[in-house]
Amino acid sequence: MNPLVTPEWLASRLGDPQTRVLDATLPPVGVAPPSDTRTRYLASHIPGALFFDIEALSDHATWLPHMLPSPEEFSRRMGAMGVGDGMEIVVYEQEGVFSAPRAWWMLRALGAGRVHLLDGGLSGWIAAGLPTDSGEVAWPAASFAARLAPDAVKDFAQVLEWVREKGRGQILDARSAGRFAGSAPEPRAGLRSGHMPGAISVPFTELVAEGRLKPAEQLREIFLAKGVDLERPITTSCGSGVTAAVISLALEMVGAAKVSLYDGSWTEYAQHPDAVIES
């Protein structure tokens, strides 16, 4: 299934009460001063779009960033926003491809069936000559029953098994080549750079061109050139579980079926006393 939709496809469905549009823009890590993406949303968004605050919707009972919340909490928050079971959901971000795939993955992992990503995001929408709106948006409360999809998420223990037992599965790392190699620092203070033994470097920026994911044929060529076996189990990782979802989305586009995401990602792995790190 191709999860991408065009601005024209979305425009034809904006009047449907069973369609919800979500702006899922996060400010990039390590950039100062941080971008106020909610203020930018209030200034300009697709008509009827809600702000899907990835940080606010994450699990705050853990020190790890952006972790999935419990199904119960996600159900409550989605229902309060007006996002209900069975709705058609389209996520986008204001520029580029960075955080909207994380929202796509969160929704999919927690039971939403029809979730798409707007190709080109808000920039592509505006370039297509379509209108924007401003200010707050409110939809009537709905019922959302979140259910964690089996095998959607990997934890540290499961990833460590893959590291120790070669052949169990493939780990694809979305961080930059320098961070993967240990030659560039991590944006989070105190974290050692490097990589998990056996991991494959797939910087998420290599999957993107001109603010969009590359076509499926090009994505397939990239994965195959890096030695990725699309028929074998894969888990994706990055710094904090956000850009790992860019790889997950790209794998969806090329038909890989056995894909999970390591939610703790490098932030957890690099600080664990049992972690083995190569550089």
Tokens representing 276 are: 């083995």
Q: What CATH number has the domain bearing residue 170?
A: 3.40.250.10
pTM of structure: 0.96
Quick check: is 57 in a domain? yes
70 and 109 housed in the same domain: yes
147 lies in some domain:
no
Instruction: List beta partners, residue 164.
Output: none
Distance between CA 183 and CA 279 in Å, rounded?
8
Residue listed under structure tokens 């209900």: 84
Task: Judge whether 70 lies within some domain.
Answer: yes
Range of the domain at 58: 4-127
Claim to verify: residue 103 and residue 159 sit in the same structural domain: no
How, if at all, do strands 50-51 and 115-118 pair? unpaired
Do 231 and 119 lie in one domain? The reply is no
Confirm whether 241 is domain-assigned.
yes
In a domain, 136, yes or no: no
In a shared domain, residues 119 and 167 = no
Give the per-residue pLDDT at 263.
Answer: 98
- Contact in structure between 120 and 94 (CB atoms under 8 Å): no
Same domain (yes/no): 39, 117: yes
Residue in this structure with the two tokens 């957890």, named with its chain if needed = 268
Q: Does 31 fall in a domain?
A: yes
Is residue 160 in some structural domain? Answer: yes
Q: Do residue 116 and residue 182 come from a single domain? A: no
Written as tens digits, the pLDDT of the chain (279 aa) is: 689 999 999 999 998 999 999 999 998 776 767 789 999 999 999 999 999 999 999 999 999 999 999 999 999 999 999 999 999 999 999 999 999 999 999 999 999 999 999 999 999 999 999 999 999 999 999 999 999 999 999 999 999 999 999 888 999 999 999 999 999 999 988 899 999 999 999 999 999 999 999 999 999 999 999 999 999 999 999 999 999 999 999 999 999 989 999 999 999 999 999 999 999
Residue 149 confidence (pLDDT): 95
The domain tally of the chain equals 2
Query: What contacts 96, CB < 8 A, 6 or more positions away?
Result: 121, 208, 211
Asked if residue 248 lies in contact with residue 236, where contact means CB atoms within 8 angstroms, the answer is: yes
Q: Are residues 121 and 10 in the same domain?
A: yes
Same domain, 97 and 201: no
Are residues 16 and 52 located together in one domain of the fold?
A: yes
- CA 29 – CA 34 distance, rounded (Å): 8
pLDDT score recorded for residue 30:
67
Q: Is 168 a catalytic residue?
A: no
Same-domain status, 263 and 212: yes
Catalytic residue (one of 238, 249, 254, 275): 238
